[in-house]
Structure 1
């Protein structure tokens, strides 16, 4: 099943003399169960693209299909329902509610649904176990490390069992150990639950956990790299492509 289809999407900011084209006639597809990274130099349009595909923003021209549904012309109420039922987000700055416990933060997306309490508790137990949060459920965000906060953010995003998970620089605030742990959890969830993941990153180490990388430059498709061997080999291919495209930062070696 095709989970994401972007058709000739362009995004402009400003007008006339101040016009900036952030995305330029961009097209690509992501199938169900893929773990796809979006990379490119600073200013390439990565975050703009993620915002459009994840329904946060609208393209100037073009179409976006998620799980077979064209989303670019849905009303705000239709988009809100679609986000709640189909999409999960992992943000770089976590967006946790400080007055709620870890348990309450994780189950928060389901509080407006009609799911029975038993199902909510089953999901909480499963994702808490997957993301090593079981012993932290009664703590508050200010009692957690940065890595733990990001894992809570990931668990919260997965509680609705989204068709697709969007991640915007999810390891950007993490140290090497925490980043590796989070990426291993995402890879496991992608493999075991067939959760489709689209992740924006500038870091080759982070990207090496993906199955495929789409490189964009100046808002347009530049190239792609598909993993076909070890993660180390894939990491090296990503580094080579970053050098070719003229951007990106190598932060960690694998």
Structure 2
């Protein structure tokens, strides 16, 4: 089943004499349980596309469907409710509240829902176990490492059991060890929890954890590759494709083993 269906989406910014085509007639689907990455050179339209799917922005033409609902045409009140229940967001800068404990930060998305205490504790225990943060729940964000903060942000995104988990450059603020740990946890979430994940990144190492990569260039869907072999082989495919579209190359990349 297609969780996400992007249908002939275009996005045009500016006025009549200075129009910019950020996206140009893009179509693709993401099936339930997929781990998909979006890549492309700077200015290719990656973030614009993510914003369309995340319901943060609306396409000029075309439509976006999530769970067969046309989110690109929803009214704001209904859209806010849909976003809260169906979408989880992992941001590059965490967006944790320093005045709340780790436990309180993770449970924040459930504040407006009338879940039983037992259900809340069950979900918290499950998320904490998967992400390895059970021993951090009583601490505050400034008392834990940057990598741990990103895992807490991931837990907050997961706690509602969203239809789609959206990650925008989630490793951008992390050192290589913390980035690897987060990507391994995302892989566990994808496999064990059957979470559908859409990740935007410019980094081949990060992208190599996905199962499928969509490459965007000049606002258009340029190509896609699917992981069939091991992660090292997939990494090499990504590097080659980046070189083809002008977004990097084999000689300035960090290999997965380093």
The alignment's TM-score, normalised by the length of structure 2, stands at 0.96
Offset, 1:251: 5.0
The equivalences for 1:56-75 within 5 A come to: 56-75=56-75
Query: What is the rounded CA distance, in whole Å, between the counterparts of 2:234 and 2:68 in structure 1?
Result: 30
Query: What is the rounded CA distance, in whole Å, between the counterparts of 2:124 and 2:212 in structure 1?
Result: 30
Matched with 1:39 is 39
1:253 aligns with 2:248: no
In structure 1, the gaps of 5 or more residues are none
Matched with 1:14 is 14
Offset, 1:193: 1.2
Query: What is the rounded CA distance, in whole Å, between the counterparts of 1:55 and 1:252 in structure 2?
Result: 33
Matched with 1:237 is 237
In the alignment, is the contact (CA less than 8 A) between 1:166 and 1:198 conserved in 2?
Answer: yes
Query: What is the rounded CA distance, in whole Å, between the counterparts of 1:66 and 1:196 in structure 2?
Result: 12
Offset, 1:67: 1.2
In structure 2, the gaps of 5 or more residues are none
The 3-state SS of whatever aligns with 1:167 is strand
Offset, 1:12: 1.0
Query: What is the rounded CA distance, in whole Å, between the counterparts of 1:139 and 1:184 in structure 2?
Result: 23
**How big is each residue's C-alpha offset from its partner over 1:6-40, in whole Å with a ceiling of 9 and x where there is no partner?**
01101111112221111011111110000000000
Query: What is the rounded CA distance, in whole Å, between the counterparts of 2:146 and 2:23 in structure 1?
Result: 32
Query: What is the rounded CA distance, in whole Å, between the counterparts of 1:177 and 1:149 in structure 2?
Result: 14
Offset, 1:252: 2.8
The alignment's TM-score, normalised by the length of structure 1, stands at 0.98
Matched with 1:95 is 95
Query: What is the rounded CA distance, in whole Å, between the counterparts of 2:53 and 2:112 in structure 1?
Result: 24
Query: What is the rounded CA distance, in whole Å, between the counterparts of 2:17 and 2:144 in structure 1?
Result: 48
1:143 aligns with 2:129: no
Deviates more, 1:226-235 or 1:9-18: 9-18
Offset, 1:59: 0.6
In the alignment, is the contact (CA less than 8 A) between 1:37 and 1:214 conserved in 2?
Answer: yes
Q: How many residues align?
A: 254
Offset, 1:85: 1.2
In the alignment, is the contact (CA less than 8 A) between 1:203 and 1:248 conserved in 2?
Answer: no
